[in-house]
Amino acid sequence: MIKFNNVNKWYGSFQVLKDCTSSVKKGEVVVICGPSGSGKSTLIKCVNGLEPFQEGEISVDGVSVGAKETNLPKLRSQIGMVFQNFELFPHKTAMENICLAQIKVLGRTEDEANTRAQELLDRVGLGEYGNKYPSQLSGGQQQRVAIARGLAMDPIAMLFDEPTSALDPEMINEVLDVMQQLAKSGMTMMVVTHEMGFARRVADRVIFMDEGEIVEDATTDDFFGKPHSDRAQEFLSKILEH
Amino acid sequence: MLGDFDFGVIVTALPYLWEGMQLSLLLTGLAAIGSIALGTILALMRLSSIRLFQWIGAVWVNFFRSLPLLLVIFWFYFLVPLIVQGQVDAFESALIGFVLFEAAYYCEIMRSGIQSISRGQAWSGYALGLNYPQTMRYVVLPQAFRNMLPILLTQTIILFQDTSLVFVVGLADFMTSAVTVAQRDSRLVELYVFAALVYFVMCYFASLYVKTLQKKMHR
């Protein structure tokens, strides 16, 4: 469903992505991990064209992201994205956050959008919080609303960019639980995260990146069992010791 | 001199002065709406990735900020009729002059307002499939506008004071009405003191309101 082919990206003269090639099948859950500055977030932002890339190709469901003739807003509306800092719209209630793009992009009526939003709020355990503003919600609650907002577009895939990194420890699980349910329901997911427990439980595959390269691309069992590269081994030993 | 200060003159002139004030307020309101709208468009142009738009925005701002407002008002009242070969209405020409001029200032306010909104907000709008105009309209601008509201209001208070310059094209705003009465009745002291007092009270209380608004927003 999502294919990367020799993707290269530079910020000025600094190369952030080097020849990244991989793919994500329908219904697959892929975790991307690696040290900070390794290009994980950049890679995931290239999938829906938030970050442009200079060389190579990325396609989602057969549509090339980088091609000039591609209708990017339309493509993006089919790919949900959840950000590290939630990025809910602070001037809108949870409900309005979830409804805005349903109405403006998908052309749903306000009633349809509200019904869908309420379903999703119930699903992420926040059925009573529809009329709260983001500032009245905890970080974990905000991130669950953000997930609901992405799901409201009935996406074919969901991207998660470090969805729990900005959360207090006691709120991480409520978000991971929602994500795990989502994975079980068959959603295609790409998740940038440091939560190795989550990766082990939920991911089908793990991509390990370092310095802009995909160093390791393996099934979850293989990755945690016997990583091939020294860099992945080193990373795992650092992160798993605690 | 102040010994024979005659309040009666002011009282008699009040209905006339009130008409002038209505014109001042109307001009301020329309000019503010017009120049905030235009200023916002200019701000988006300055922040656009398209070179030509950046250039137009920058030239506009630098051009009008380098001219005295009085000259701009003259320009639209005396020179535009020569160009279009016809009469222009004093109110309309003053209004156009104010909108074009003040837009340069509102532009810079809106520009910093837009820049105060994190990039992630626009990203999350785009990620949902909103296009650029929708992301600006529903996500970025409402927040930018809200953040900048105190400064926008302060600029509007300045605009209100500046409307007194329409005196030069003979528009009967509050200031002009006061001058007219002062000269007609030979009561310069009374009318100029009264006019100053009115401007002071209105602008002072308006800026007090802005201050409380600011405090409320920062809480």
pLDDT of residue A93: 96
Which is more confident, B79 or A43? Answer: A43
CB A97 within 8 A of CB A87: no
Question: Is the Cβ of B128 closer than 8 Å to some Cβ of chain A?
Answer: yes
Pick from A136-140, B79-83, B124-128, B194-198: least confident? B79-83
pLDDT of residue A226: 81
Q: Read off the tokens for A94.
A: 């949870």
Q: Give how far A87 is from chain B: nearest CA, Å.
A: 6
Question: Is the Cβ of B139 closer than 8 Å to some Cβ of chain A?
Answer: yes
CB B134 within 8 A of CB B39: no
- A vs B: CB pairs below 8 A: 64
Does residue B1 carry a pLDDT above 60? no
Does residue B110 carry a pLDDT above 90? yes
Of A173, A169, A175, which Cα lies nearest the Cα of A142?
A175
Q: Give how far B115 is from chain A: nearest CA, Å.
A: 16
CB contact under 8 A, A87 and B120: yes
Place of tokens 């051009």: B63
pLDDT of residue A231: 87
Of B168, B176, B174, which Cα lies nearest the Cα of B203?
B174
pLDDT of residue A181: 95
CATH fold of B2-218: MetI-like fold (1.10.3720)
Question: Is the Cβ of B122 closer than 8 Å to some Cβ of chain A?
Answer: no
* Model pLDDT for residues A209-225, shown as the tens digit of each residue: 999 999 999 999 999 88
Give the contacts of A97 (CB within 8 A, at least 6 positions apart): A88, A89, A134, A145, A146, A149
Residues of chain A with pLDDT under 70: 241-242
The interaxial angle of helices A169-184 and A139-151, nearest 10 deg, is 20
- Res. B81 pLDDT band, cuts 50 70 90: confident
Question: Is the Cβ of B120 closer than 8 Å to some Cβ of chain A?
Answer: yes
Window B:149-208, CB contacts with A under 8 Å: none
**Calpha distance A10→A12 (Å, rounded):** 6
**Calpha distance B136→B122 (Å, rounded):** 8
Of A4, A14, A3, A8, which Cα lies nearest the Cα of A54?
A8
Query: Per-residue pLDDT averaged across B55-68, rounded?
Result: 96
Question: Is the Cβ of B126 closer than 8 Å to some Cβ of chain A?
Answer: yes
Residue of chain B with shortest Cα separation from A75? B129
Of A84, A105, A103, A97, which Cα lies nearest the Cα of A124?
A97
Cα separation values, B205 from B5, B33, B197, B211, Å: 26, 21, 12, 10
Cα separation values, B121 from B118, B130, B141, Å: 6, 12, 11
pLDDT of residue B211: 93
* Model pLDDT for residues B3-43, shown as the tens digit of each residue: 677 888 888 899 999 999 999 999 999 999 999 999 999 99
Degrees to nearest 5, angle at CA A186 with A180 and A192 = 50
**Calpha distance B45→B51 (Å, rounded):** 9
Q: What ipTM did this prediction achieve?
A: 0.93
Instruction: Please give, one letter per residue, the 3-state secondary structure of chain A.
Output: CEEEEEEEEEECCEEEEEEEEEEECCCCEEEEECCCCCCHHHHHHHHCCCCCCCEEEEEECCEECCCCCCCHHHHHHCEEEECCCCCCCCCCCHHHHHHHHHHHCCCCCHHHHHHHHHHHHHHCCCCCCCCCCHHHCCHHHHHHHHHHHHHCCCCCEEEEECCCCCCCHHHHHHHHHHHHHHHHCCCEEEEECCCHHHHHHHCCEEEEEECCEEEEEEEHHHHHHCCCCHHHHHHHHHHHCC
Torsions phi, psi for A239 (to 5 deg):
-85, -25
Residues of chain B neighbouring A89 (CB-CB closer than 8 A): 121, 124-125, 138-139, 143
Instruction: Kindly state the DSSP code that residue B50 receives in the 8-state scheme.
Output: -
**Calpha distance B80→B86 (Å, rounded):** 9
Of B59, B134, B148, B140, which Cα lies nearest the Cα of B106?
B148
The mean predicted confidence, pLDDT, of chain B is 92
**Calpha distance A220→A165 (Å, rounded):** 21
pLDDT of residue B197: 95
CB contact under 8 A, A50 and B123: yes
CB-CB neighbours of B156 under 10 Å = 20
pLDDT of residue B3: 62
Which is more confident, B82 or B95? Answer: B95
